[in-house]
Structure 1
Amino acid sequence: MKIKSKLMKVLICIFGVLILIAAATLGMNKISESKRAEVLKNKVIPLKTVKAESGFEDLKPLESVLKDKKIVSVGETTHGTKEFFQMKHRMLEFLVIKMGYRLFAMEAGFGDAQVVNDYILYGKGNVNDAVKALKYWTWKTEEVSSMIEWMRNYNKDDNNKTKIKFYGFDVQSTKIEKEKVLEYLKVVDGNSINKYESVFNKFNDDNVSSLGKDKLASVKNNIKELLSDFDKNKEQYISKSSDSEYKMAYQDLNNIYKCLQVKSQAGMEYTNTRDKYMAENVKWILDYEKQFGNDKIMLWAHNGHVTKEMPNYTSMGSHLKKMFNDDMYVIGMEFYKGNFRAYPISNSKSAHIKEFTIKNSSSFTFAHNLHNLNIPLYFMDFNSAAQDKGIKQWLSDLKLIHAIGAEYSKYNPIGSYAPQVPLNSYDGMIFIDNISQSKAIN
């Protein structure tokens, strides 16, 4: 499935003016580039590798940084980078083994991720089917497959009493949610299945945007009626199942409605609604998991979704910041050069995923500043770095940070940057100087 990077396309429209502002701001720094690099070298945490199962000695300083956090969100500047995915796998391993995390959620469909969860918890199916269930080409990679297999192996180990659970918080698909709701109804209310099937048959993941305004409005009203039925029959349904099973089925149905709502919109309305719903889903996951004693979660998404602040855009991260405040820690990712996979930005419907190369990041970008430390891989905690007044001012200025996502235009490389204030947008940053493309699986 090709991801339409609507966030990217809309943000590019505002980049022109903001780029000029950012470039001007960068020129106003009161300390020189070389002096700033020397100060920062003493503030960052060099990392030895992006690969999981490599030990935690270099990550140990993160224990104090993340010790009181309930949410650790980890972003990425492209959806097609091997090292970003590997580093996220390593972060998950660290959070599970050293920090007691057992919940993981990524930018994937709520229902689709249940297939992965069934695999890592119960061994249903196989790892290839689990990865393919996530639908998006971005996640059909060797790196994501390796992470999921690590989760399965962790859960299989009888020494690990509390198991890892896998969730999706996105709202762009309905197929699995439909199946799960119907499975639940077979147990609690078989007489209503025909009614639900009649509504579900009116749409699928591919035809929502072509239903037409009136028909789509009618379908959304139908789903609202089904949600009302769930409310009315709550006690009956719980008596024939359980409170947790009822809540999960209700959430599946609710996400069907959210998907219809998002896909009926366009532009910034689409983007803002999607991120609002994704944040709501993260909160729901944490609320739902309280009954099992799980209160900490790692999130995987694009920088643009995890960020706490983005010009002209209300991100998932900004919603979560209001909900969880200091209980959340947001880590952005950035790179200086290398290869990645993406769809070429084109009007052609037959465009295919390609490998792109960025030989170096422009001198007026945040990536260039980070590259000047001459450390190939490191983590920077902004709160610690900002103890230096000069660095705090520098992090408080507008910067250009890569925001490539799933699409890229080699003819408009400046359009692949988003202007952001690092200190307001992220709590920390993982910098990888040289990246390579993710490895697709069939």
Structure 2
Amino acid sequence: MTIKDAALPLEDEADLDPLLTRIGDARYVLIGEASHGTHEFYAWRAALTRRLIEEHGFSFVAVEGDWPDCYEVNRSVTLADGAPEDPAQVLNGFDRWPTWMWANQDVVDFTRWLRDHNTQRHPEGRIGFYGLDVYSLWDSLRATLNYLQAHQPEHVETALEAFRCFEPYAEDPQSYARSTRLVPSGCEPEVVKLLTQLRSDAPTQSGTNRNARFNAEQNARAAAGAEAYYRAMVAGGPDSWNIRDTHMLETLQNLMNHHGPDAKCVVWEHNTHIGDARWTDMSEAGMVNVGQLVREQHSEDGVVLIGFGSYQGKVLAADYWGGEVEAMTMPPAREGSTEEAIHRTLGQRSALFVFKGDEESWASQSRDHRAIGVVYTPHAERWGNYVPTVLDRRYDVFLWIDETTALTSLHGMEPAGGELQTWPTGDEEPVP
């Protein structure tokens, strides 16, 4: 099948009907983005998620964000006692660079809708919003300590031991990562002990207490995952990437268990996490990702992987790690890429592609497929920013927006600093 024959309209939310039919009873729907700074990707992803919640009974949204920050958004959208009534107040407080990934107007619009939707639901059935990522080492340690002080004071000393181990590094992940060259185990024993003790005598609880307990356990898991991630960054190679994506998968599974046997999840992450790594050159580099792992472990529950792409436009990004965010011009896609092939055929039309596993399909050929992280240098597209991809194997569905616009950040100028991500979504090498 040719590009022209396969392209379905994509102009308004009703055009998502074929995609909803493809999803059917699937319990895992993973929705990507080709950059972390494109309005149309966020807006269409939100539109699809609203329909999945309203029409297909999905239970929660899990995103490529930090657990502690996103849990405060969750408290707001689920109308938790004492939580801000407007999720924008929480999102405005996101301060880890790159803040615009979640502190942007599209996420504000979606979370406000989600809170309003939840006002019509029983408290036990409200739709959650959670973070899957692994960077929140110190914030997660603080949250775990606060929980233990209030509920399990007998384990406070264990949490303080972990704090004392990390204290010399002044909340600088790179400093901690480099220190493990001398002491390879780092603070691993302390955070593992903390997690073990927290889980060893978990009481049977329900309602608010059950959620607080789950939050504490996830913070302890996030701290353990972050510590392992930073240790792995020193050695280079695929290990840190794999630790991160494996942690995100484990967090997703914990959320599914928490929400019960009939739970359904929507995941929002970059294409490089969502699209099955086995159908890119990531596999050759020894990397796995969330999409691959979910397919391998949960195919019997129904898994649908959804990617995005565009030809040209504007994107919110920075030109170095920790730099100021700006709306950059994304040049036309390079010759021979998936993006150039679609644009050459469809012109400026947007389109929806629902793949059927046709071996003769245009999408069954390996082509370069653009991936833009939070760090972006447009003139470097001659040699970077593309991942060789068999499109109809990497994704089940592909949404095409020919020309895009940039996100609207809540913060404007971004502070310097932040915690390094490894390639490909951050376009940064591991800590040297």
The normalised TM-score by structure 2 is 0.82
Residue identity in the other structure for 2:316? R
Question: Which residue of structure 2 aligns with residue 168 of structure 1?
Answer: 131
Residue identity in the other structure for 1:424? R
Residue identity in the other structure for 2:291? G
**Per-residue deviation, residues 225-253 of structure 1 (Å, max 9, x unmatched):** 22232344335x869x9666544422321
Q: Deviation of residue 201 (structure 1)?
A: 4.6
| Distance in 2, Cα, partners of 1:151 & 1:122 | 10
Question: Which residue of structure 2 aligns with residue 128 of structure 1?
Answer: 88
Q: 1:77 aligns with which of 2, 13, 34?
A: 34
| Distance in 1, Cα, partners of 2:211 & 2:31 | 28
Question: Which residue of structure 2 aligns with residue 44 of structure 1?
Answer: 7
- Counterparts in 2 of 1:130 and 1:230: CA distance versus 1, 3 Å: same
What SS is found at the alignment partner of 2:232? coil
| Distance in 1, Cα, partners of 2:220 & 2:124 | 31
| Distance in 2, Cα, partners of 1:113 & 1:219 | 25
Question: Which residue of structure 2 aligns with residue 4 of structure 1?
Answer: none
Q: 1:154 aligns with which of 103, 117, 124?
A: 117
What SS is found at the alignment partner of 1:298? strand
The total of aligned residue pairs comes to 387
Q: 2:313 aligns with which of 338, 348, 355?
A: 338
Question: Which residue of structure 2 aligns with residue 14 of structure 1?
Answer: none
**Per-residue deviation, residues 154-173 of structure 1 (Å, max 9, x unmatched):** 11235998321011111111
| Distance in 2, Cα, partners of 1:112 & 1:435 | 28
Q: Deviation of residue 402 (structure 1)?
A: 0.6
Q: Which moved more, 1:279-288 or 1:429-438?
A: 279-288
What SS is found at the alignment partner of 2:125? coil
Q: Deviation of residue 282 (structure 1)?
A: 1.2
- Counterparts in 2 of 1:140 and 1:397: CA distance versus 1, 3 Å: same
**Per-residue deviation, residues 22-42 of structure 1 (Å, max 9, x unmatched):** xxxxxxxxxxxxxx6xx4334
Question: Which residue of structure 1 aligns with residue 349 of structure 2?
Answer: 376
Q: Spell out the pairing of 1:268-287 with structure 2 (5 A cutoff).
A: 268-287=238-257
- Counterparts in 2 of 1:157 and 1:175: CA distance versus 1, 3 Å: farther
Contact 2:19–2:397 (CA under 8 A) maintained in structure 1:
no
1:111 aligns with 2:68: yes
**RMSD value, Cα:** 2.6
Question: Which residue of structure 2 aligns with residue 10 of structure 1?
Answer: none
| Distance in 2, Cα, partners of 1:151 & 1:66 | 21
**Runs of 5+ consecutive residues of structure 2 not aligned to the other structure:** 412-432
Q: Spell out the pairing of 1:188-337 with structure 2 (5 A cutoff).
A: 188-203=151-166, 206-211=171-176, 212-213=179-180, 214=182, 217-235=185-203, 245-266=212-233, 267=236, 268-290=238-260, 294-309=262-277, 310-311=280-281, 312=285, 313-325=287-299, 327-337=302-312
Question: Which residue of structure 2 aligns with residue 390 of structure 1?
Answer: 360
| Distance in 2, Cα, partners of 1:375 & 1:71 | 31
Question: Which residue of structure 1 aligns with residue 414 of structure 2?
Answer: none
The normalised TM-score by structure 1 is 0.80
Residue identity in the other structure for 1:320? V
What SS is found at the alignment partner of 1:411? helix
| Distance in 2, Cα, partners of 1:350 & 1:43 | 41
What SS is found at the alignment partner of 2:410? coil
Q: Spell out the pairing of 1:17-32 with structure 2 (5 A cutoff).
A: none
Give the fraction of aligned pairs with identical amino acids, expressed as a percent: 21
Residue identity in the other structure for 2:388? P
Q: Deviation of residue 302 (structure 1)?
A: 0.5
| Distance in 2, Cα, partners of 1:232 & 1:62 | 43
What SS is found at the alignment partner of 1:361? coil
Question: Which residue of structure 1 aligns with residue 420 of structure 2?
Answer: none
1:180 aligns with 2:143: yes
Q: Which moved more, 1:177-186 or 1:138-147?
A: 177-186
Contact 1:334–1:431 (CA under 8 A) maintained in structure 2:
yes
What SS is found at the alignment partner of 2:312? strand
| Distance in 2, Cα, partners of 1:75 & 1:132 | 23
Residue identity in the other structure for 2:38? T
- Counterparts in 2 of 1:131 and 1:40: CA distance versus 1, 3 Å: same
| Distance in 2, Cα, partners of 1:350 & 1:61 | 40
**Per-residue deviation, residues 251-293 of structure 1 (Å, max 9, x unmatched):** 3212111011112222322112111111111111112211xx6
| Distance in 2, Cα, partners of 1:160 & 1:259 | 32
| Distance in 1, Cα, partners of 2:17 & 2:122 | 23
1:91 aligns with 2:14: no
**Runs of 5+ consecutive residues of structure 1 not aligned to the other structure:** 1-35, 50-55
| Distance in 1, Cα, partners of 2:38 & 2:120 | 30
